[in-house]
Amino acid sequence: MATPLTASKLVEVLRAEGLTVHEVRNWRRHNRNAKGPYGPMHGVMIHHTVTSGTDSSVALCYDGHSGLPGPLCHGVIDKKGEIHLVGNGRANHAGLGDSDVLRAVVNETKLPHDNAADTDGNRHFYGFECINRGDGKDPWPEAQKEAIEKVAAAICRAHGWSERSVIGHKEWQPGKVDPRGFTMDGMRRRIADRLDGHGGDSGSHEPKPKPKPKTEYERFPGAGFFHVGRSHPVITAMGRRLTAEGCSHYETGPGPEWTEADRKSYAAWQRKLGFKGKDADGTPGKVSWDRLKVPKA
């Protein structure tokens, strides 16, 4: 679970990724929050506008139309690869989609086929509309595709997500075809590459540096693994990650034996992710464990 980024934080992470960001009118307070909850956030959704022209497309996404009030997304990505922020909060972009798809996004596992429309996506996804007619003929400039990659990577980086938290509208809601003109699997590979410290295909013919070896993370050992008397190197590795995340309740540092300090530290991590009540009791669960990214002990 993740608390929505504030307007200022969203601008910060997008610009830190090297993007040109335009703040449109009253976008920081422009939302549909009165119509339903917003958050916790689980992913980023990519769309195409079925329009052409930057000014008119941005205006449409800000204002909406008679059948669907704006904002129709959080940001518009134009052909030059520049970002126009039009909403902050709940936006009318995702609609109802498949709960099985949402579960896969939360767990960052393989997406199932979307065959249901039973879950509110406007609550859980950041939405970005990309200016394209969506007819299969309108080109996708490299600058625009690179901006999609950067936007998604910036938000994933801010929340500690992988590329599997990024989906297309067509993967969420039955009958949708957007974005049309590139594959989401290909875009996710680009996002993964950027998250690993490399940019996407910018058209340069300069040789790319050799990729760094990927860090291997401990798989979730199950909630029953964590109990008084359990001693294992993975508990030490977990404690070090909790300390790095500012969730330490240790007096002398983490060790291999599960203690009350470990439980309190992990509960602080769960609360940081937005969990509450019994979901923040300090017993590790798969979602929070995967977000912690504990290196192999």
Confidence category of residue 209, pLDDT binned at 50, 70, 90: low
127 and 178 Cβ atoms separated by less than 8 Å: no
Residue 82, pLDDT > 50, answer yes
Confidence category of residue 9, pLDDT binned at 50, 70, 90: very high
Model confidence pLDDT, tens digit, residues 116-149: 999 999 999 999 999 999 999 999 999 999 999 9
The domain segmentation of the chain, as residue ranges, is 7-195, 223-292
- Mean pLDDT score of the chain: 93
The pLDDT value given to residue 296 = 87
In this structure, whether the domain defined by 7-195 belongs to CATH 3.90.480.10 is answered with: no
Average pLDDT over residues 170-184: 97
